[in-house]
């Protein structure tokens, strides 16, 4: 019985390499291997011993013969693991944490496809229940990786067209990771024929406003930040900025005139907002038809707030 069991175990061990996918832990070596084999790199950012969805993704998808068969001609596989295991190689842990930061990964599992040159081509965040479900995202990422490679051999308008096509295939989940790609497109398109330059400016304004507001310590400082941003705001950003100003003014209102001033700003925000509901302005006007009552409600809300303890 023992010999039979041992024989079976040895047979299984011998068969395992035929289907078990090889997962590397050295990203630079994986990129070199991918370049030599004309493949892309697939990175599994995971917490292998504490992230339940990571464990399920491995068991149901990534560690299956079906996935190995799917991936073998497309991807070099890399595991970037950040486990709780105290015995995990500390040098590898540090390197993996740095890779998570480098690729702006803030949730596990994240499956990311990159080119051998390190450009992000797509992937998915979260759990996929089957190889087929994962393949939908990974096929798109692999196609994008091929476009990025194609662009390396092109110049001028041809390269621009290929990069624009590549950018359209990347999920919104990877917006932060693909900022370098968008910057390349903008640099190749000084006339902004794609409109991406404008979108970049719109997003840059929003990011700058968020950063400045996080540093503001008082409502007055926050109001000054918003007013400064409004002076150069792109049209797409004006409704949101005016809405912020409205909220600051209304929250700090001390008189009926303050309420009226806040309402004027809120009204302008609503009039400029293309996504406002058809009856939104009518409801807004009704809500502020009696500014005295609005002020009273604000004062009652303030009176119910706990006092700030003195330091």
Q: What topology is assigned to 2-191 in CATH?
A: Glutaredoxin (3.40.30)
Domain boundaries in the chain?
2-191, 199-304
- Report pTM: 0.72
Q: Is 244 helix (H, G, I), strand (E, B) or coil?
A: helix
E-only strand ranges, the chain: 23-24, 40-46, 75-81, 110-114, 120-125
Residue with tokens 């008189």: 255
Name the packing angle between helices 219-231 and 196-215 (round to 10°): 160
Answer for the pair 194, 164: CB distance below 8 angstroms, yes or no: yes
Per residue of the chain (311 residues), what is the pLDDT tens digit? 434 444 444 344 444 444 457 999 999 999 999 999 999 999 999 999 999 999 999 999 999 999 999 999 999 999 999 999 999 999 999 999 999 999 999 999 999 999 999 999 999 999 999 999 999 999 999 999 999 999 999 999 999 999 999 999 999 999 899 999 999 999 999 999 999 999 889 989 999 999 999 999 999 999 999 999 999 999 999 999 999 999 999 999 999 999 999 999 999 999 999 999 999 999 999 999 999 999 999 999 988 876 555 55
């Amino acid at each position: 019985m023992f010999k039979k069991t041992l024989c079976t175990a040895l047979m299984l061990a011998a068969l395992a390499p035929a289907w078990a996918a090889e997962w590397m832990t050295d990203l630079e070596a994986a990129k070199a291997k991918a370049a030599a084999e004309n493949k892309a790199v697939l990175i599994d950012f995971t917490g292998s011993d504490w992230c339940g969805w990571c464990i399920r993704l491995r068991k149901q998808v990534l560690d299956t013969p079906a996935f190995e068969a799917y991936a073998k001609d497309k991807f070099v596989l890399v595991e970037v693991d950040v486990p709780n295991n105290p015995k995990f190689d500390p040098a590898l842990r540090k390197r993996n944490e740095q890779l998570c930061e480098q690729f702006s990964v803030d949730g596990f599992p994240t499956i990311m496809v990159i080119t051998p040159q390190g450009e992000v081509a797509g992937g998915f965040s979260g759990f996929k229940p089957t190889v087929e479900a994962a393949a939908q995202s990974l096929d798109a990422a692999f196609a994008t990786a091929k476009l990025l490679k194609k662009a390396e051999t092109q110049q001028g308008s041809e390269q621009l067209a290929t990069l624009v096509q590549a950018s359209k295939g990347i999920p919104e989940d990877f917006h932060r990771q693909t900022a370098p790609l968008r910057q390349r497109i903008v640099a190749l398109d000084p006339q902004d024929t794609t409109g991406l330059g404008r979108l970049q400016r719109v997003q840059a304004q929003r990011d700058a406003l968020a950063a400045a507001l996080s540093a503001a310590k008082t409502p007055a400082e926050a109001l000054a930040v918003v007013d400064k941003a409004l002076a150069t705001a792109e049209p797409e950003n004006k409704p949101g900025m005016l809405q912020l100003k409205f909220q600051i003014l209304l929250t700090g209102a001390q008189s009926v005139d303050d309420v009226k001033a806040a309402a004027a700003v809120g009204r302008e925000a609503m009039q400029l907002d293309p996504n406002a509901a058809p009856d939104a302005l009518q409801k807004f006007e009704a809500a502020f038809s009696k500014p005295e009552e609005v002020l009273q409600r604000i004062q009652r809300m303030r009176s119910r707030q706990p006092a700030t303890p003195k330091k």
